[in-house]
Structure 1
Amino acid sequence: MELPKGLAGVVVDQTKVSSTKNAILTYAGYPIKELKNAPFEEVVFLLWHTRLPNADELKDFRKLLVSQMALPYETVQLMARIAREPQHPMSILRTTVSLLGTTNDVERDDPPRILAKMLTAIAAIIRIRNDKPIKHARKNWGVVENFIYLFSGKRPTAEQVSMFNTVMVLHADHEFNASTFTARVVASTKSDYYSCLTAAVCALKGPLHGGANEQVFKMLETIRETGQDPVQYVERRIASGQKIMGFGHRVYKDGDPRAAILREIARKIAHETGNDPYFVLQERIRDYMFKKTHLHPNVDYYTALIYHCFNLDRQTFTTMFAACRTAGWLAHIIEQQAEGCPIRPSSEYVGQTNRHYLADKEENSID
């Protein structure tokens, strides 16, 4: 039996949520390039129902999500303690999601309620870590506008909402990636939504998945702070066998379509926030990496700079990824639980055989 590394290309199930077939990302059949400016709430509805909402449905759905963007009192009290611990924000989020499962009426597997609570919890983690008071959602604002307000404490401009909306849409789902597949495995056992989401957060935390955006900006900071030439820095890392985060993708060999969209947002917001030097660094590294390795930037590469321009600490970047991807996780959880069949693959055993306990015990005994 020969299996591709990391199960690359192995089809394990069917889905109506999203696809990367032929290296084209689609949500329920719609190309991501056509959805990039669609309201986040509309895209969430699409992922959950595999159809677009009409005007009244979208209005009601947005109102429902915003109405649920408040955390239970018990959750806030406990978060105020754990969020100040010297742990990575993703570790805090992992515990918070599990905590929500005990304080947020776990008998109600209600996707809108859960997504809204996740967004608010992530914003609250950021506020508490910065010793800032937790903000409360404004009922007349949209989900993205509220989310930015909840983590920043300031009402964003219409342009900022538009840019961040696109970021959230592009990150909302991506077929059977590691965290989504993890959520589906747990969902297949008919476990509750919070258990599924906790497992997904654990998978997303890894630097080879969601944590890559943090590593991208760490690289940019190191280059700027030490005054190194970016090309020489990358050359040394490659020569020493180290991975350059933010480049290459298992599916998109000719370039991640999300990165192309995010590049223009990164360029614009970097200029508007006085972060042009970071974008210049990224472009020099981008050009060199293509010349040297023929690898293109992926979704993490430009997202890192965008998050920085929203005054987010790089350790919180992956929690932003989780905020966006929760929409897709929930879509896959809903779909998987409807199948009613636990995921239980087989494996090929390659260890020793024909061993016998008593014989080996006797042989290894000491006189």
Structure 2
Amino acid sequence: MSDDVQRGLEGVLVAESDLSYIDGDAGKLGYLGYSIEDLAREASYEEVVYLLWHGRLPDAQELDDFSTWMAGARPLDDEVVTEIRQLAAADEVPMAALRTIVSALSAYDDDATHDDVTDLDANLRKACRITAKIPTALAAFERFRNGKEAVDPREDLNHAANFLYMLNGEVPDEVLAETFDMALVLHADHGLNASTFSAMVTASTLSDLHSAVTAAIGTLAGSLHGGANANVMRMLKEVDESDADPRTWVETALADGRRVPGFGHRVYDVKDPRAEILGAKSKELAEAAGESKWYDYSTTIEAYIADHKALAPNVDFYSASTYYQMGIPIDAYTPIFAMSRVAGWIAHVLEQYEDNRLIRPRARYVGEADLPFPAVGER
């Protein structure tokens, strides 16, 4: 065994998985052998969830049954709604609220006390409830903290459209619904990122699915993982308010030692393929709305950073303007990330349970040794 320490476990192989494939040199991403481009263009979020959990795409009847099952699991117990209302009244930050809500959901899940935490059928039922209820909870929290009442979910809308309906109180148009559905597909899984690995570590102790997802949410909340798209939008708004040319703004920011969010990635050495797809969608939304400034700012900044820093944008860069043009609050971006990524978290947890081994790395001790123990009066 090598004695080299790999800080952050960078480049360390810790598991085998058939869920998502990333080629950082070529800028490729796929789920179970299907390219992200094909999935984003052709598949619904429900199809991708089924693919990740079952290892294959559903046929028409399976997709209809699965979508119906998911839609029927959307409503929240009254006690959970009360807790969401209290969290909103306490001005809790959205990711912390989501962490608390998902943990609370286990109290009202019929399978939460199942004796065998690795039982696949029970976990698929729990997975469906968790994934279906998170959008309902997020939309209710957002409305409560803005002095509005929650909107009940509808079973006749798909996962993406129903969330936008519950958030805004009106059925979204086709462009918005399709764009949001695509965004959910793009964020559904991405290898052993920090939050996914956190979920796997939790599951490896034979803790339950709710605990694993709660751990993942806590990990995603960190600014080095889930908050980049919110920071990108804050940057774009700052550019807009400055009335400066975006190139000049970025040049000044870099000279002041500021970091421009949304660029670079631990895995990709080229442009994130998801950024390519969302960039095109951001442009489409801008053209449909007749307001292109956010997209124009983004492309100008991308070109400047490419020329001066040789860095390419990641998925967060264009998801920022895409979400903003859809009317989604900036501090809800990371919870929406979780709303999508829960599918991947659960898929990796199910995979972990299939052939479980406790994840327990070691650290090299570099402290002092064999110190004499002094009496309290001699310290």
TM-score bracket for the superposition, by shorter chain length: over 0.9
TM-aligned CA deviation for residue 343 of structure 1: 0.8
Show the counterpart of 1:10.
Answer: 12
Mean Cα displacement is larger for which, 215-224 or 336-345? 336-345
Show the counterpart of 1:34.
Answer: 38
Show the counterpart of 1:198.
Answer: 214
Q: Does 1:228 align with 2:241?
A: no
Asked whether the 8 Å contact 2:203–2:349 carries over to 1, the reply is yes
Q: How does 1:1-367 map to 2 (within 5 A)?
A: 1-21=3-23, 23-37=27-41, 38-105=43-110, 106-107=112-113, 109=123, 110-358=126-374, 361=375, 365=378
TM-aligned CA deviation for residue 239 of structure 1: 2.6
Asked whether the 8 Å contact 2:22–2:30 carries over to 1, the reply is yes
What is the aligned-residue identity percentage?
Answer: 39
User: In structure 1, the residue corresponding to 2:11 is in which secondary structure?
Assistant: coil
TM-aligned CA deviation for residue 159 of structure 1: 1.9
Asked whether the 8 Å contact 1:210–1:318 carries over to 2, the reply is yes
Asked whether the 8 Å contact 1:270–1:305 carries over to 2, the reply is no
Amino acid at match of 1:69: R
TM-aligned CA deviation for residue 140 of structure 1: 2.1
Asked whether the 8 Å contact 1:83–1:125 carries over to 2, the reply is yes
List per-residue Cα deviations over 1:112-155 (Å, max 9, x = no partner).
Answer: 12210112112222221222221122222222221221122110
Asked whether the 8 Å contact 2:23–2:268 carries over to 1, the reply is no
Partner Cα separation in structure 2 for residue 337 and residue 236 of structure 1: 50
User: In structure 1, the residue corresponding to 2:226 is in which secondary structure?
Assistant: coil
Q: What do you get for the CA RMSD once the two structures are aligned?
A: 1.7
Asked whether the 8 Å contact 2:91–2:145 carries over to 1, the reply is no
Asked whether the 8 Å contact 1:183–1:199 carries over to 2, the reply is yes
User: In structure 2, the residue corresponding to 1:260 is in which secondary structure?
Assistant: helix
Partner Cα separation in structure 2 for residue 188 and residue 51 of structure 1: 24
List per-residue Cα deviations over 1:272-322 (Å, max 9, x = no partner).
Answer: 234411111111111100001110110000101111111111111111111
List per-residue Cα deviations over 1:9-57 (Å, max 9, x = no partner).
Answer: 1111111211214542110111111111211111100001111111110
Tell me the TM-score normalised to structure 2 length. Answer: 0.91
List per-residue Cα deviations over 1:58-91 (Å, max 9, x = no partner).
Answer: 1100000001111111100111111232232111
Partner Cα separation in structure 2 for residue 15 and residue 356 of structure 1: 48
User: In structure 1, the residue corresponding to 2:89 is in which secondary structure?
Assistant: coil
Please list every run of 5 or more consecutive structure 2 residues that lacks an aligned counterpart in the other structure. Answer: 114-121
Q: How many residues align?
A: 363
Mean Cα displacement is larger for which, 21-30 or 65-74? 21-30
Tell me the TM-score normalised to structure 1 length. Answer: 0.94
Amino acid at match of 1:25: L
List per-residue Cα deviations over 1:182-226 (Å, max 9, x = no partner).
Answer: 011101111121111111111111111111111001111111112
User: In structure 2, the residue corresponding to 1:19 is in which secondary structure?
Assistant: strand
Q: Report the CA distance shift for 1:241/1:354 in structure 2 as closer, same or farther (over 3 A).
A: farther
Asked whether the 8 Å contact 1:266–1:279 carries over to 2, the reply is yes
Partner Cα separation in structure 1 for residue 327 and residue 51 of structure 2: 30
Asked whether the 8 Å contact 1:275–1:309 carries over to 2, the reply is no
Asked whether the 8 Å contact 2:102–2:130 carries over to 1, the reply is no
Amino acid at match of 2:222: G
Asked whether the 8 Å contact 1:74–1:103 carries over to 2, the reply is no
Asked whether the 8 Å contact 2:231–2:261 carries over to 1, the reply is yes
Q: Report the CA distance shift for 1:87/1:78 in structure 2 as closer, same or farther (over 3 A).
A: closer
TM-aligned CA deviation for residue 323 of structure 1: 0.7
